[in-house]
Structure 1
Amino acid sequence: MKKTAKNSGFTLIEILVVIGIIAILAAIVIIAINPARQFAQARNSQRLSNVNTILNAIGQNMADNKGVWKCGTIYFNASSASTTIGTSGTDLSSCLVPNYIPSGIPQDPNGGTAIDTKYQISTTTTGIVMVCAPLSSESALGSPTPICVTR
């Protein structure tokens, strides 16, 4: 009687089928997660946090000065026009850093600099201060919406 040798292992076809299934599942997961959208949402969350930080610091400055904004020669004019926060526009760093924002004036996560933080500040005729982030031009989020907070 002859013994037949039994080969154990996977055939090339079986391995290719498993690799194909894994690739399809990976593609489905990547599409479901949508990393571009996740990064865009993270940047918008950072923008919202930054405008709140700036507005809270302005509010603390005003609270410390009995409701009046005091900062050298920087005044918030009652107008609908907004100005850029940064050294090229309204430089708030001398007023808010380090007393109210120890880490420095926040900058937009998508290209803000100390010269142009990309954030805007304005006041209404009734004295309400509004800080806005740039419109989110992230195509992953659909139509852009402004991020503004007021006090």
Structure 2
Amino acid sequence: MKDMMNTSKRGFTLIELLIVIGILAILATAVILILNPVELFKQARDSQRISDLATMKSALAFYLSTVTGGSLGTAGTCYVYEPAGATIADCGGRHAAASFSKSAILLADGTGWMPVDFDDVPGGSPLSVLPRDPQSSAGKFYSYVGNTLAGTFEMNADMESGRYGSGGKDDVESVDGGDKADIYEVGNDPGLNL
């Protein structure tokens, strides 16, 4: 009979379980609010944009230094990648270009959205395909203007995160040396005002 009296129950009560679940819910909410996953995705896409434009700038600089008589495209024409289903009316006011060309082709052989034939580079193209904006929508796209005679070019992208956008902690738009404070501009054109 003594053995029956000394048995103790092991486990958690319903109240204890509810308290633990409540604490976990509060912690999960706090982590989500602090980390802000939507902003983190925007920052990741902006990092991709910065990387893509740096890669294209390097490829174009290499193209200009190794290819004699190569074309950077028709002067005064803005070129953009436009995915199927999206409608990009013009270059979004990013360039002073008079005309506009759009394509959904990513080939780096001069037939893609950027009219530069990277296959002319001795030893092969520095790009396997032309990059495109991670979102590729009406407001988020890469644009390009080149001037073959002057040997200058400019590429643009629009940042979407608060961190990399104009006035952000790691602002790349207003400090890039270009003529648009709210667009990320790279290239070799003085003033980046093509």
Work out whether 1:141 is the aligned partner of 2:141: no
In structure 2, C-alpha distance between the alignment counterparts of 1:106 and 1:43, rounded to whole Å: 13
Gaps of 5+ in 2: 78-94, 106-110, 167-181, 189-194
Is the 8 Å Cα contact of residues 122 and 131 (structure 1) preserved in structure 2?
yes
Q: Per-residue CA shift, 1:77-106, capped at 9, x if unaligned? A: 49832856646898436612561212x000
Query: SS of 2:96's equivalent?
Result: strand
Of 70, 91, 99, the residue aligned with 2:125 is 99
Report the RMSD for the aligned CA atoms in angstroms: 3.6
Q: Per-residue CA shift, 1:31-86, capped at 9, x if unaligned? A: 111110110001011111111122222111110135x6x13x93344983285664
* Higher relative contact order, structure no. (Cα contacts within 8 Å, ≥ 6 residues apart): 1
**Residue aligning to 1:150:** 187
TM-score (norm 2): 0.57
The code of the aligned residue for 2:74 comes to Y
The code of the aligned residue for 1:24 comes to I
Matches within 5 A, 1:1-150: 3=5, 5-65=7-67, 70-71=70-71, 74-77=73-76, 80-81=96-97, 83=100, 86=103, 91-92=113-114, 95-97=117-119, 99-102=125-128, 104-111=129-136, 118-123=141-146, 128-133=152-157, 135-136=158-159, 138=160, 141=162, 145-150=182-187
Gaps of 5+ in 1: none
In structure 1, C-alpha distance between the alignment counterparts of 2:101 and 2:155, rounded to whole Å: 10
Cα distance change on mapping 1:64 and 1:126 into 2, 3 Å:
closer
Cα distance change on mapping 1:12 and 1:110 into 2, 3 Å:
same
The code of the aligned residue for 2:47 comes to S
Higher helix share: 1
Is the 8 Å Cα contact of residues 107 and 119 (structure 1) preserved in structure 2?
yes
Cα distance change on mapping 1:131 and 1:84 into 2, 3 Å:
farther
Is the 8 Å Cα contact of residues 122 and 129 (structure 1) preserved in structure 2?
yes
Equivalent pairs counted in the alignment come to: 140
In structure 2, C-alpha distance between the alignment counterparts of 1:85 and 1:54, rounded to whole Å: 18
